[in-house]
Amino acid sequence: MNRPRHLVRRFFGAAFGDELVETPLPEDLVRWVSAHFSAQDREAALACLRQAVNLTGEPASPRFLRCAALSSGGDLQRLQQQIAQLRIDWRNVIMAAEFSVRHNKVYRARDLGKPIPMPEAAAPAA
């Protein structure tokens, strides 16, 4: 039986379930991390994203992972904070990445439930 990670941690301690699951990352997210994180932080950023979980201890969805990465702005410490926030309240991470304020009104600027679009200049030639 595959128990949710939060239950494993509750019974066996915080470090016990840390290596249980690594989430495969969407290609668009890997590409975004490669373009926005420094060379020295890329592998650490990808490792953090692979191990990200939601508040129930299940692997974070691609949308949550994209939101955490984009709202980090390419800063490893901020990414770690956003991933930690996913375990508390994922809505804050989505608000930071998908929504903006204009004229004192909140509006949805992007939908990270979909892949991050490649800039035209970086798109492969057909």
Average pLDDT for the chain: 84
Element (H, E) at 78: helix 76-86
Residue 10's pLDDT is 45
Q: Is position 12 within any domain?
A: no
Residue 123 or residue 80, greater confidence: 80
Residue from 85, 20, 88 nearest 97 by CA: 85
The strand pairing partners of 102, in sequence order, are 105
Domain span at 53: 23-117
pLDDT tens, position by position, 39-88: 999 999 999 999 999 989 899 999 999 999 999 999 999 999 999 999 99
Domain count, the chain: 1
Q: Which residues, other chains included, contact 12 with Cβ-Cβ below 8 Å and sequence gap of 6+? A: none
Percent above pLDDT 90 for the chain: 68
